[in-house]
Amino acid sequence: MLRALAIGMSMDCINQIKEKLEKYPELKWELDGSTISVSPENGFTVWLAESEQVCTVGYNGWHEEFSDKNEALNCFAFGLSEKCRLKVFIKGKTEYKWVIEAFEDGNWVSYSTTSLILYPYWRKTRISYLQNHVVSS
């Protein structure tokens, strides 16, 4: 995964992210308790929620828990890069499935999926692709 924003372990994750975000003053970010989120324009929100044992990283509705803080920080940074996109499945007005894709060897490759259990399955499915362009490869 992307190492452009990879950060050491000398501080907690949120403080490390805040420190790195100083290099991107145009980005909108928000801190709410133990959760930090970045919402690039025309992309998707990347967030990290930190507890003592795990960090949960999310891109809109997709999320994954990490016990290794470096992996969580790398995943957070990856979501801000051009090498990542979010494939969003929508039924009616409800987003119900999110797939993380990585650009590798000229192709988009699916890696991880999060989905809702309850959604309006009878509605027509639409697919939307979202991508952030904060960190260039």
Residue 136, domain member (yes or no): no
Q: Which residues are registered as beta bridge partners of 93?
A: none
Q: What is the pLDDT of residue 137?
A: 61
pTM tops 0.75: yes
Residue 55, domain member (yes or no): yes
113 and 127 co-located in one domain: yes
Chain position carrying tokens 């994954």: 64
What's the whole-number average pLDDT of the chain? 91
Q: What is the pLDDT of residue 8?
A: 37
For residue range 80-111, what is the model confidence (pLDDT) as tens digits?
Answer: 999 999 999 999 999 999 999 999 999 999 99
| H/E segment holding residue 18 | helix 13-21
Measured distance between the N- and C-terminal CA atoms of the chain, rounded to whole angstroms: 11
Say which DSSP state 87 is in. E
Query: What is the rounded average pLDDT of the residues 107-121?
Result: 97
How much of the chain, in percent, has pLDDT values that exceed 90? 83
C-alpha angle with apex 53: 82 to 135, nearest 5 degrees?
Answer: 10
What is the rounded CA–CA span in Å between residue 62 and residue 100? 8
107 and 71 co-located in one domain: no
95 and 75 co-located in one domain: no
Domain that holds residue 65: 13-79
104 and 61 co-located in one domain: no
For residue range 26-74, what is the model confidence (pLDDT) as tens digits?
Answer: 898 999 999 999 999 999 999 999 998 999 999 999 999 999 999 999 9
Instruction: Work out how many domains the chain is built from and give that number.
Output: 2
Choose among 44, 42, 48: nearest CA to 12.
48
Q: What is the pLDDT of residue 51?
A: 92
Say whether pLDDT at 3 is over 90: no
For residue range 7-33, what is the model confidence (pLDDT) as tens digits?
Answer: 333 358 999 999 999 999 989 899 999
Residue 2, domain member (yes or no): no
